[in-house]
A and B are shown apart, each in its own frame.
Chain A
Amino acid sequence: MGAKILVLAEHEGGAIREITWELLGLAHRLAGEAGWNAAEIKALILGQGVEGPAGEIAGRGAAEVIYGEGPALRNYTGDGYDRAIEAIVKSEAPEMLLIGHTPDGWDVAPLISAGLGVPLATECSAIALQGGKARLTRKVFNGKFVQEIDLGDARPLLATVQKGAAAPFAGRTQGQVRKVTAAVGDADLRARFVEVKKGEAGAVDLTQASVIVSGGRGLGGAEKFSVVRALAEALGGQVGASRPVTDMGWLPHEHQIGSSGVTVSPKLYIACGISGAIQHIVGMRGSGYIVAINKDAEAPIFGVADVGVVGDLFEVLPALTKAIKEAKGQA
């Protein structure tokens, strides 16, 4: 039996990435909405020597795990993955192909889109199936608006799904693993994996901080960060930043919080002059308590914050720093 929904699994060092369970959770929900049999939910895993992870997925969400095996797939390359995936998708002819919106998922999905000649919806935060039509929700203008789209009669429906958009599949399945030889040989690759390495090393480890005070573009310049630093110091916390701040060199890269920086979950997170692009929000929404201060009342950051102030950073932050110092008896 062919697949109705095919999910691309991601793995590293023998461990399944969390996004895989989320995609399987989404697949089970969508199959329910569409009236498809759970036996038609399949996963695709590519690699070499990953029988263990393949079996794990068969036990948790997939009725069948198609294991594309070969030396060309030992490490991720867009070239190798694309060709292996296209061959399997053509033989399975699924209604839907779900891929994680991860660095590798986002890298390979456009290749598959052009190779199969079907449109792609990236970074979806929600997918619904209604009367045979898919309605996909994603962000545009860096989170200022959400966009609902459909993909017409294209099959498979092809989407990359944001992390955290669906609850991970928590049930048990007794699926099978079917090994297929990769449709791409090592000698065919025009992209060669070299290594995965750490980015520039830094002295700051924001992942362990219990308080983070972050500044964004709204501060207006590197020298203006003193108000953020003073508040962080008063709270005994660390200084974080959004991507524009580190791109412009106001702070080193190691301070960057978000999808391309670090993911943090302090007890207290104070966002100062950060509008709240999705790339930033995914890196901090796990924080215990979120305070946002921004001059723009429409800033998306207020959607995830617990408490918000529309106001001037250079008035509110010094006032808050003073109040905290007084409360600690340091003033």
Chain B
Amino acid sequence: MKGLVLVKQVPNTDSPFRLNAAATWVDEANLTFGLNDYDRYALEELLRLKDAGKVTEVVVLTVGPERAATALRTCLATGADRAIHVKDDALQGSDPLSLARVIHAAVKDEGFSLILAGLQADDDNHGQMGGLLARLMDRPCASAALSLALQEGGVIRVERELENNRLQVVDLTLPAVITVQTGINEPRYASLKGIMAAKKKEIRTVGLKDLGLDAGQVGGKAARLKTLRLAPPPKGKGAEMLQGPADKVAQEILRRIREKTGVV
């Protein structure tokens, strides 16, 4: 049984974020990038199935510019067997649905029984890709998994995170797509041996032409979800900001807590 993890390279959350000149996205020049946090958990989950002898091959796939190959290299060093990098300038500005069509074209003949993805990416926060791909492939899907367990008879049992510390338990018939919530496991880190081994592993780079796709139908030009602008979040009423040495600030906070809450 072959397994796939969809991964994405995203800006590290402690990067210095600034808007680009057109205020349509962030200025990438100042950012450092890494593997999307949710995807580390998804990869770990599939590597565990391989360790248990239930999955024979772990493949990772990303869509992104040249720099995204680094995220694939991280996955290979962590234990993935091979990687697919979909890279094409025409994909710049794609919306999630057209990206899902591209990924569908790249994976449809691979015969993956299990496809995992992170619940969402830390940059665009869409949280759609797993479901979009599942529907395009006509497979069942479950999102926000906090536990996965293969059952007899080609079924995988998923515990989905609900609100207020509750879980929905659902059985999916394989092949299936599942998105993974953080905290499902403790992701491993790449070992030195893994980093060395990764150098020999394959990263296959494919463009739209290789996938038999037309840039007019799937890329940035075909996007219907378009960013009009990005802005800092509205401050709402905004906090009253206190300044000064810690002791003085502490007294100011205490005075307000007494006046406003009566808990002291």
Contact = CB atoms under 8 A, between A and B. Distances in A.
Interface of A: 76-79, 82, 102-104, 106-115, 117-123, 135, 138-154, 190-200, 210-211, 235-237, 243, 246-247, 249, 253-254, 259-263, 267-268, 288-292, 298, 300, 302-312, 315-316, 318-320, 322-324, 327-328
A155 B1 CA distance: 39
A235 B249 contact: no
B212 interface: no
A111 B172 CA distance: 15
B261 A288 contact: yes
A200 B133 CA distance: 31
A322 to B, nearest CB: 7
Nearest to B182: A247
27 contacts: A79-B140, A103-B163, A110-B132, A111-B131, A113-B128, A114-B136, A140-B125, A141-B11, A141-B123, A141-B125, A144-B232, A145-B17, A146-B230, A152-B224, A190-B140, A192-B171, A195-B168, A199-B166, A199-B167, A237-B263, A253-B183, A302-B238, A303-B238, A316-B250, A323-B254, A324-B257, A327-B258
Interface stretch (B69-77, B83-91, B94-102): B94-102
A146 B233 contact: yes
B95 A259 contact: no
Given A114-B136, A324-B257, 9 more contacts: A103-B143, A141-B17, A145-B19, A193-B169, A262-B164, A267-B263, A303-B233, A307-B241, A320-B254
Nearest to A77: B170
B52 interface: no
B158 to A, nearest CB: 9
A207 B232 CA distance: 31
Interface of B: 11, 13, 17, 19, 26, 95-97, 100, 122-136, 139-144, 146, 157, 160-173, 176, 181-183, 186, 223-236, 238-243, 246-247, 249-254, 256-258, 260-264
A198 B166 contact: yes
Nearest to B122: A142
Given A110-B135, A254-B165, A303-B236, A147 B250 contact: no
A298 B235 CA distance: 10
A151 B17 CA distance: 26
A142 B121 CA distance: 9
Given A114-B97, A122-B125, A140-B123, A102 B163 contact: yes
Contact of B164 (A108, A121, A263, A307): A263
B164 A139 contact: no
A311 B249 contact: yes
Contacts of A115: 135
Contacts of B246: 311-312, 315-316, 318-319
Interface centre among A109, A303, A328 (most CB of B within 10 A): A303
> Which 4 A-B pairs give the minimum distances between C-beta atoms?
A110-B131, A308-B239, A114-B135, A152-B224
A298 B232 contact: yes
Given A145-B232, A300-B233, A191 B170 contact: yes
Nearest to A247: B183
A77 B157 CA distance: 13
A262 B167 CA distance: 13
> Quick one: which of B17, B131, B181, B224 has the most chain A CB within 10 A?
B131
Nearest to A202: B165
Contacts of A122: 125-128
Given A194-B171, A302-B239, A289 B261 contact: yes
Contacts of A145: 17, 19, 26, 230-233
Contacts of A315: 246
Contacts of B186: 249
Given A303-B234, A303-B238, A322-B250, A196 B167 contact: yes
Nearest to B241: A308
Contact of A291 (B131, B223, B226, B253): B253
A210 B176 CA distance: 44
A119 B242 CA distance: 44
Nearest to B17: A144
A228 B75 CA distance: 36
Nearest to B101: A114
A151 B225 contact: yes
B209 to A, nearest CB: 23
A191 B140 contact: yes
A197 B160 CA distance: 10
A76 B168 contact: yes
Contacts of A138: 125
A306 B242 CA distance: 11
B42 to A, nearest CB: 14
Nearest to A243: B182
A322 B181 CA distance: 39
B224 A135 contact: no
Contacts of B256: 289, 291, 306-307
Given A147-B230, A267-B261, A191 B157 contact: no
B112 to A, nearest CB: 16
With most chain B CB atoms within 10 A of its CB, the pick from A110, A198, A316 is A110
B227 A147 contact: yes
B251 A196 contact: no
A210 B181 CA distance: 30
Contacts of B183: 243, 246-247, 253
A275 to B, nearest CB: 8
